[in-house]
A and B are shown apart, each in its own frame.
Chain A
Amino acid sequence: MTAALTHSFDGIASRIDASGARSVGFTSTLAGEGTSTIALGTALALAELRQEKVLLVDANWIRPSLTSDAHQDSALGLADHLARRTDLSKAIRSLGRSHLEFLPIGDRDAARPTLRGLATFLTTDVARFPTVLIDLPPVLTGEMYVLPWASLLDHLFVVLREAATPLPLVRQALGKIGLGAPEIILNRSAAAAPELTRSLIAAQTAGFR
């Protein structure tokens, strides 16, 4: 069952791997889209695929659910590190059996993410990690916690829930992020991913003719 669950995220993991990206962020339009679930699943799948260290960072200042799942609510974390309260090595948790390591949010009141602080964090502080995955809050409710990451990450994915996320709000969120060509991850898709990929390619090919 474990393998089956993580294999659900093999598609995303393999594409991230193929793109050679090191830092990847996951955000959404609204809460409840499955962003943290996808971040967690992708981290597990990437750790298994790359067989090297993957750092999963809970940067959701609004609702740090990964930190709660890891029972690290009162532990030191990212916010404490950005506030220079602690050394990063004391905040990162190694998760036993896999290559996955986890950085909880910490005390959210200690600091806010800034472009400069995050740039240092990504390029220097976690330089030893070949892969860094960031779980971010929804754009529309946590714009100030998402935008500083947008220009620093190799990929920033917007997670949509199929047949649920209102399109006008998605457009609004994409407009706020302001990337040239935002990338979408469609969650809870009814069709099987490989078939969808084939049909998508076929449709795009037909459209170009």
Chain B
Amino acid sequence: MSRYYLIPIFLFLLFIMGCLISRSPDGVLVDLDAINLKPASPGHLLGTDSMGRDVFTIAALGARTSLSIGFAAALLAVSFGTVWGALGAMSGRIIGSLMMRVVDSMLSVPSLILLLAFSALINRPEFTNHLPTIVEQLLGISNYSLGLLPVVSVVSVIAATSWLEAARIAYSRISAIRNEEYIEAARSLGLGTLAILRRHLIPNARGLILIQATLLVSDAIVMEAGLSFLGLGLGPSTPSWGSMLRQAEADIFFGNWWAPLVPAILISLTVLSVNMLGEKALAPPDSSSRRT
């Protein structure tokens, strides 16, 4: 693998950084006088969509939403998965293998189906209408707006389906080193199980788990796009790459190919960057020494 195709990825990361640190526009204005403007029209670098919104602006705002969802979901999933796998490895053989069978059985279901099932559960009105007041205030839920609730439910649905790999990795890594001598030494010095986990075992599995977390960020972004595309994720009032794609059906009707193409390219570039990072990180040092 040569180095030059790192250049577009670098430019892409630069764009993302720009989106993240630039001053937020005051929302995305619907301008029905300027619908379906072609790219490079005056004032609209990437044109407008079929609702007259500036594609560049919603793409930049969408970068924030999509990346925040990706990072939040990956963080949540990896921390829960690590704790689950670590506890499974440290508890007895029966409980540990029971915990891992739960993971295995959930892994056998395609993740998008699990996503659908979970979002059917979480988006129930009887669940969302009876949140405690403090949660409602924190999320900015009022009679007129759902506030952050869609974002939070998308993040939790994605995390609920993607913690499984992290749990498996943590479990296998920790059960492999659980009986090493230095762990025994720590125990004989009087360290409790939790302290051993925190000080020795989890730091030892950290490298693998970090790689998994990186891969999960792009998975989560794709999952959000899929959910929003189906109409189960974020609506048009919360710009994200997925909700831009949701708009695609309307846009195709007007012959507007550029508005959906922008989020499609951005999502693919994100996945590509993460895949290349993963390829570098996961590649064995020398593939020719794999076999004898």
Partners in one complex: no
Residues of A within 8 A of B (CB): none
What residues make up the interface of B, taking CB atoms closer than 8 Å to A? none
